[in-house]
Structure 1
């Protein structure tokens, strides 16, 4: 089973680390493309979660990187500091398994 990797604020990354995920705190959203490029090369990662607050400032640049990404699956999650909509976990899991 592959790993989950979280890129985001200190609070969110720390919480995911408590349940066994790996992660990096990102201060500058413009660091994201470099992190994602490195993580895409790792065979052990199946899911990359990016918090919405660091995704939004460079949304256009990141969308071109993650648009057709199959593995690892890259998805945006709400952070405690962002406005959020409910996440369809079933849809996210099905997509990660290649059925969505």
Structure 2
């Protein structure tokens, strides 16, 4: 079974580490693209979570990168600093299964 990796702010990464999730604090959203390419080389990661406040500034640049890959599955989650929006769980499941 693969690992989950969280890319986000110091607070959110700390919370996820408490439950055993690997995490990396990223302060500059413009390094996300290179970080994702680096993560793609790792075979042990199945799911990458990116906090919304980190993702939003580079959304347009990353959408094509994220939508064109199947492993690891990359999804955006709200952080304590971002506005929460409803998640489309069905879409996430279909994408994880390779249908979306």
Q: Return 19-28 or 82-91, whichever deviates more.
A: 82-91
The separation in 1 between residues aligned to 2:89 and 2:33, in whole angstroms, is 25
The separation in 2 between residues aligned to 1:74 and 1:88, in whole angstroms, is 14
In structure 2, the CA distance between the partners of 1:84 and 1:3, relative to structure 1 (3 Å rule), is same
Deviation at 1:58, TM superposition (A): 0.8
- The size of the alignment, in residue pairs, is 100
- TM (normalized to structure 2)? 0.89
Q: Return 39-48 or 82-91, whichever deviates more.
A: 82-91
Query: Can you list the C-alpha shifts for 1:61-88, whole angstroms capped at 9, x where unaligned?
Result: 1112111210000000000000011334
What RMSD over aligned residues (CA atoms) do the two structures have, in Å?
1.6
The separation in 2 between residues aligned to 1:3 and 1:93, in whole angstroms, is 17
The answer as to whether partners of 1:40 and 1:72 remain within 8 angstroms in 2 is yes
Instruction: Structure 2: give runs of 5+ residues left out of the alignment.
Output: none
The separation in 1 between residues aligned to 2:6 and 2:61, in whole angstroms, is 19
- Deviating beyond 6 angstroms after TM superposition, the runs of 4 or more aligned structure 1 residues are none
